[in-house]
């Protein structure tokens, strides 16, 4: 039987797509989970044409709407002189959202302004300070389109109980889909 297709932030598989030209290889994803799933890797920032390496970006809360902005340096980020890149990022992942209909789950990179799920720092435009955490723009759009899709943050998988429940959830989601679309 074909393994369930699972979307994943490309950098977690060791692909050098991060803003600094590096990756965030997760051995849990490649060693423990790869036997259960067929991965469909995706990097929304590369898909949007930002290039690698690139300036780091942050999510800034501006009039209550998170938007993606370039920052020269994440530590010095003021939130005042940024350029809104949300539209450019969305243009890069729109087709991917349609293709995600084939997925049974998604594994996200923690804290990313594009891929994080509930862990991404949100900066306040007026002060440049972190006000709260939220989700990256790609993952927010994915959740909006597929609210039932099981999504997990890579750091959650370090908990054995969550890891095993995640495998069970994805397997159940996959069988439900197969029954609905024989």
43 binds ligand SF4 (CB under 6 A): yes
Minimum CB separation of residue 80 from ligand SF4 in Å reads 24
With respect to ligand SF4, which residue has the nearer C-beta, 115 or 170?
A: 115
Give the list of residues 6+ apart from residue 160 with CB closer than 8 angstroms, or none: none
Q: Given candidates 4, 7, 9, 120, which one binds ligand SF4 under the rule CB under 6 A?
A: 9
The answer to whether the CB of 68 falls within 8 A of the CB of 89 is yes
With respect to ligand SF4, which residue has the nearer C-beta, 61 or 115?
A: 115
13 binds ligand SF4 (CB under 6 A): no
Minimum CB separation of residue 69 from ligand SF4 in Å reads 15
Chain-centre distance of CA 112, in angstroms?
7
26 binds ligand SF4 (CB under 6 A): no
Give the list of residues 6+ apart from residue 173 with CB closer than 8 angstroms, or none: 4, 104, 105, 148, 149, 150
With respect to ligand SF4, which residue has the nearer C-beta, 14 or 177?
A: 14
Minimum CB separation of residue 178 from ligand SF4 in Å reads 28
With respect to ligand SF4, which residue has the nearer C-beta, 10 or 58?
A: 10
- How many other CB atoms are found less than 10 A from the CB of residue 65? 9
Q: What is the CA radius of gyration of the chain?
A: 17
DSSP secondary structure letter of residue 69: E
DSSP string, 109-161: -TT-TTT-SS-EEEEETTT--EEEEE--HHHHHHHHH-TTS-EEEGGGGGSHH
Residue the block writes with tokens 């938007």 = 67
Choose the binding region for ligand SF4 from 4-12, 27-35, 96-104, 156-164 (rule: CB under 6 A). 4-12
Q: Could you say which residues in the range 91-150 bind ligand SF4, by CB under 6 A?
A: 109, 112, 114-115
44 binds ligand SF4 (CB under 6 A): yes
Interface contacts to ligand SF4, rule CB under 6 A? 9-11, 17-18, 43-45, 109, 112, 114-115
């Amino acid at each position: 039987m074909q393994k369930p297709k699972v979307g994943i932030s490309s950098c977690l598989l060791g692909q050098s797509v991060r803003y600094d030209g590096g990756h965030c290889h997760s051995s849990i994803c490649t060693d423990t989970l790869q036997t259960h799933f067929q991965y469909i890797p995706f990097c929304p920032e590369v898909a949007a044409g930002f290039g690698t390496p690139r300036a780091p970006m942050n999510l800034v809360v501006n009039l209550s709407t998170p938007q993606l902005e370039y920052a020269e340096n994440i530590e010095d980020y003021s939130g005042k002189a940024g350029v809104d890149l949300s539209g450019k990022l969305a243009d890069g992942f729109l087709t991917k959202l349609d293709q995600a209909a084939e997925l049974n789950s998604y594994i996200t990179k923690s804290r990313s302004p594009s891929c994080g799920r509930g862990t991404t720092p949100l900066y306040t435009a007026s002060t440049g300070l972190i006000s709260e955490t939220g989700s990256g723009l790609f993952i927010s759009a994915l959740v909006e389109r597929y609210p039932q899709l099981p999504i997990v943050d890579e750091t959650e998988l370090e908990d054995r109980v969550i890891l095993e429940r995640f495998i069970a959830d994805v397997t159940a989601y996959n069988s439900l889909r197969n029954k609905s679309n024989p």
